[in-house]
Every structure is written in C-alpha cells, then in structure tokens.
Amino acid sequence: MHLESGDIIPEALHRRLGWDIRHHFMAEKIIDRYGLKLPRDRELVRQLAVFFVLSGLKRPPLEGEQPKPLSRLHQASPYGSRQRDALSSRPRVT
C-alpha cells in the first residue's frame, strides 16, 4: 500500500509528534501485513508504528513472533538524548 504523507498524521503535526519517514514506511508495512483499512484503523496503525519504530524493528513482527522489550536505557526520552544524559549524570541528593 502507498500512503500519502498526511494519511496517518496530519502534515502540520509531523514535527511536533516526531513522526518521520521511519514511521511512515512502518505504517505502510503494518497496513499490508495485518490487512488494516484506513480511515477505520488509523489510530491503531499510528500506535503500532510508533511502538515498532521505538522498539528498533525494521518490519512488523511475523505471526507468533514477539518484539523485543525495550530496555530502560534504550527507551526514547521525550526530552532527547542530551537531556536524558544530563539527568542521568546528576549526583543524587539524599
């Protein structure tokens, strides 16, 4: 399936929500793999694309295949890696 850039997330929100080309291509693969339909399944496709991309997958898992759980160190921070690194290197106050 070929999606236009605003089919899942409106183009005006791409930057704000962090939607990039990886999410876009993952959404196309998800629709093809699971037989989902737009606009009915748009939110499900969006959530799965975000989860699979954050999990580091290049394609949706096959039937019966489990995605690897995210380790605490590899979870995406809403503040970016510089903020995450700064927070983790602070001395603890007791």
Is residue 54 a contact partner of residue 70, using CB atoms and an 8 Å limit? yes
pLDDT of residue 63: 76
**Could you tell me the mean pLDDT of each successive run of 10 residues in the chain, 94 residues long?**
80 83 88 89 90 86 69 54 57 63
Residue 24's CB: how many other CB atoms inside 10 A? 18
Report the C-alpha gap between 72 and 19 in whole angstroms: 22
Report the C-alpha gap between 60 and 11 in whole angstroms: 23
Is residue 27 a contact partner of residue 52, using CB atoms and an 8 Å limit? no
Domain residue limits, the chain:
11-88
Report the C-alpha gap between 68 and 75 in whole angstroms: 12
pLDDT of residue 81: 54
Q: Say what the pTM is.
A: 0.63
pLDDT of residue 69: 61
pLDDT of residue 87: 57
